[in-house]
A and B are shown apart, each in its own frame.
Chain A
Amino acid sequence: MKTISVDHLCRVEGNGGISATIDGKAVTGVKFSIYEGPRLIERLTIGRTPEEDVSISPRICAICTLSHKNAVIRAMENALSIQVPPKVTLLRELMHMGEFIESHSLHVYYLALPDYVGFPNAIAMASKFDLEVKIALEMKNYGNHIMKTISGRYIHGENPVIGGFGKFPSKEELLWIKNRAIQFMPFVFKTVDLFCEIEYPEIPEAATLYACCEPGNNAYGFWGDEIFLSTGEKIYKDDYKKLTNEFIVSHSYAKRSRYKGEPFSVGALARVNNLGERLKGEAGKKYEKYFNSRWKSNPLFINAAQALEILYCFERIPPLVDELLEYQEDPAIVQYTSKQGKGTGLVEAPRGLLIHHHEVTDGLVSFADIITPTAINAEDIERYCYIAAQKLLDKGQEDKIRDRMDLIVRAYDPCISCSAHMARVEKAPEEDWKNKLRQIKTSSSPLFVGIGNPNLSDDGAGIALARRLRKQGREDIILEEEIEEKGIPREKRNNRSLIFLDALDFQETPGKVNLIPLSFVLQNATLSHKFLPFLKSPMSNEQLKNSFILGIQPESIDQGRKISLSVRLTLEKILEVIQQ
């Protein structure tokens, strides 16, 4: 059995990894893990005023901060029945465009393009794409500039508030934004051609469901009061739970979503697939030219869709500014009296549908529910990686699996924050644990350390085994409970290698045994935590090389149950080998 993993996804926002487990000819599992710690943002807003909520909840993410801002404001204005004047809505739209331009141009040029032109990163790519890299950076800065001008800061600007804006940008500032948009047009066309003409690999191709906001008026756009599904169904904003039944998986702090049991995708590709026919002007022409049925079933086309959306934004900005300038007066912040209400705000963040639901009771926030696009996409990311891994395996191209998974995850532009590229293919050690154990025993007289939780059925196997060994008179035995405080006593360690006895889930039939080098487990973030307390005093290299985990595949780790039969039989076998 093998695990192919990308532990630290590079060129994505945040700390995450993906791994596929392969058993012979079958991919048995794919895990997309997010290692960021929990912050409980939804709970933080409770008891706060609506204004404080609008300040706090966008702090979930520095990258989509303004999408969160627009979403929470829409939710609050719905909850408190506030109508804002048209100038406010127009300025919010312009602000949103800034974030799209910033996020999309960074993603397509700096994060995604290097993969398709064969460079490890954007800096190296500059040797061949010097001009593109430079202008793309200017384009990103232009997006940043719009965000700063309207929201007050590059990140976490406080100027957009419930009922309007603290201050409106001046006519000069708005005209600058308009003129700059026009100047960029030739490069924007080039961008669309570049990304729509890339030959995206065929694997993975599989149908999925797409969801995005319905902007209304048969227009393209980035918010609305309904969710539009590629099946043609529409879900009203307050019924968003019909779409997103969230659940939690243990390898990630991000919650997950499914629709009627099936994963679905959100983001640029979802929007173009669902609403592309509504694109007008130059964006409409490019859509006619490039769109085809492959876009409907291959997530790698997300990059093409993003390029098309960059064009949509640049085309929309000049008329948007003109409309804004028609309103001479800057409207004051709309005041409200309501102290009660529930509201949902639907917005498209650059990476997809973002849902904010906030409830206000007696003037204070009493409930908040925030569903982010990366949490929604996590299920489909895993599914597409699974499909790709299996197809490549069938074709005998196992060596391509790691890179392809990397490519799929990156196409989705997940928002999690990181970059160390440490992708590697790990071979799980061979089956013949008996011989290997005998060998270690004769060459280095190891210490056996029993670990686990005896209250959790098979998780107690390691402890039970260690106790049995000690009963039979062995002195080279240590129990977890004896060393939790001090680490392993020096006189006992004395540079000896360690063998940990433990239940270990490596997705095999219950009772199977696996002897895994400790160094392998320490590199695997999903397993290592448990062993760290034992390694308080540093180990020598020699010691680490000769240390192993004797893992037993558990049948159950339910509370209060005894050790299962299959595992008990295995314990006898191990006992025999050690006592020989």
Chain B
Amino acid sequence: MTKDKIKIGIYELTGCAGDALLILDCEKELVDIFKAADIQSFSMAKSDNIDGELDLALVEGSVSTEKEEEEIADIRKRAKIVVAIGICASFGGIQARFLDQKEWENNFKKVYGDLEMTHTKPVHSKPIDAYIKVDYYLPGCPIGKDQFLNFLTRMLKGNPPEKYPRPVCVTCKFNQNDCLLNRNIPCLGPLTADGCGSVCINHNLPCVGCWGPVEGANYTSEFYLLLEKGFDLEAIKKRMANYAGTRITGFFDQLNKEKP
């Protein structure tokens, strides 16, 4: 029956390897799931990796070198379904914060000087959907264990993944936390996609937004709410941008237009 198992490849581009590591940390569940699938490539876990046709490719990390540009195109060619896992692959991650090319170049020079790299050329960090079509996104920094297992089980059964079209606040309410915004703490829960189980607020700490923006996030409302509470305009923008990567550019453009 091995012939019928779905073929999966797990790949890492530039990032902290946290998503792959989290998959490894689900050892107990993985044994069963890996029995049901045919893991063709997972370089963090095994050495006999094959780069062939795939049913499902899970890609972690952002595209940050020319070599990775080629790698991601190759993965797309070989895989029926490509899924971005983690915030870096989904939205570019923290390293996509330099929103324009010039800013990135200046910063690159400040770290590495004018040295030409011999192995592969660096490029401004971007999410994988800047290069290829992505079928599904599984954000998070790193991805959540429950969300991942739920996702993989559904894929194995041939079902599309469950969507999480709700902000962290929904789970946060179930967890009966006090709303931190009411206590004038700049929490990004209302803007951020659910999936972490509102872990930071459970620990009395504000959401940092590491799952990235939820679809249809009401930036404008949160932005003006924080302004009203006396936070500095630039500080709010920066805080919102920390993990949102390329997804926040649209809002900033709109904001610039609104301002006289």
Contacts and interface: CB of A to CB of B under 8 A. Distances in A.
Task: Say whether A associates with B.
Answer: yes
A529 B47 contact: no
Contact of A248 (B67, B115, B202, B203): B115
A44 interface: yes
Interface stretch (A149-157, A470-478, A561-569): A149-157
Interface stretch (A6-14, A263-271, A307-315): A6-14
Given A47-B238, A59-B141, A248 B95 contact: no
26 contacts: A10-B47, A15-B12, A37-B62, A37-B122, A39-B14, A39-B94, A43-B98, A44-B95, A52-B242, A55-B208, A56-B242, A59-B141, A62-B17, A63-B17, A154-B145, A155-B21, A156-B141, A166-B205, A250-B115, A253-B117, A418-B12, A419-B44, A419-B47, A420-B49, A421-B47, A529-B120
A38 B95 CA distance: 9
B125 A248 contact: no
Given A141-B27, A248-B113, A156 B210 contact: yes
Of A13, A155, A159, A252, the most chain B CB neighbours within 10 A belong to A155
B171 interface: no
A121 interface: yes
Nearest to A418: B43
B215 interface: no
B46 A121 contact: yes
Given A52-B238, A167-B204, A65 B18 contact: yes
B24 to A, nearest CB: 9
A529 B46 contact: no
Contacts of A36: 14
Interface in A96-140: 120-121, 137
B97 interface: yes
A532 B121 CA distance: 12
Contacts of A529: 66-67, 119-121
A467 interface: no
Given A56-B242, A62-B16, A417-B44, A38 B64 contact: yes
A13 B70 contact: no
Contact of A159 (B43, B94, B203): B203
Given A158-B199, A166-B200, A421-B47, A63 B118 contact: no
Given A152-B200, A417-B12, A48 B17 contact: no
A43 B111 contact: yes
A154 B25 contact: yes
A525 interface: yes
B118 to A, nearest CB: 5
A529 B14 CA distance: 17
B49 A250 contact: no
Nearest to B118: A250
The 6 closest A-B pairs by CB, nearest first: A37-B64, A62-B18, A37-B14, A166-B203, A417-B17, A421-B47
Contacts of A141: 27
Contacts of B117: 250-251, 253
B17 A420 contact: no
Interface in B1-32: 12-22, 25, 27
B218 interface: no
A296 B64 CA distance: 40
B206 to A, nearest CB: 9
Nearest to A421: B47
Contacts of B15: 39
Contacts of B95: 39-41, 44
Contacts of A56: 94, 242
B19 to A, nearest CB: 8
Nearest to B141: A156
B112 A248 contact: yes
Contact of A48 (B64, B65, B242): B242
Contacts of A165: 203
Interface in B225-260: 235, 238-239, 242
Given A60-B16, A167-B203, A420-B49, 14 more contacts: A35-B67, A37-B122, A40-B108, A43-B111, A44-B94, A49-B235, A62-B142, A63-B17, A156-B18, A161-B205, A165-B203, A417-B44, A418-B12, A419-B49
Contacts of B27: 137, 141
Contacts of B210: 55, 156
Interface residues of A, number: 60
A63 B25 CA distance: 11
A181 B13 CA distance: 37
Interface string A249-278: 011110000000000000000000000000
Nearest to B14: A37
Nearest to A525: B119
A152 B204 CA distance: 11
Contacts of B170: none
Contacts of A49: 235, 239
A417 B67 CA distance: 16
B162 interface: no
A525 B47 contact: no
A250 B202 contact: no
A156 B145 CA distance: 13
A55 B242 contact: yes
B157 interface: no
Contacts of A33: 119
Interface in B105-158: 107-108, 110-113, 115-122, 125, 141-142, 145
Contacts of B19: 62
A255 B240 CA distance: 30
A42 B110 CA distance: 10
Contact of A39 (B64, B67, B142): B64
Contacts of A420: 43, 47, 49
A457 interface: no
A170 interface: no
A3 interface: no
A14 B107 contact: no
A525 B120 CA distance: 8
Given A37-B14, A41-B95, A156-B142, A418 B44 contact: yes
A159 B205 contact: yes
A469 interface: no
Contact of B239 (A38, A52, A419): A52
A40 B204 CA distance: 30
B43 A43 contact: no
Given A59-B94, A63-B21, A253-B117, A120 B199 contact: no
Interface in A388-431: 417-421
Nearest to A35: B119
Contacts of A251: 117-119
A70 interface: no
Nearest to B63: A37
B203 A38 contact: no
B47 A38 contact: no
Contact of B125 (A37, A161, A252): A37
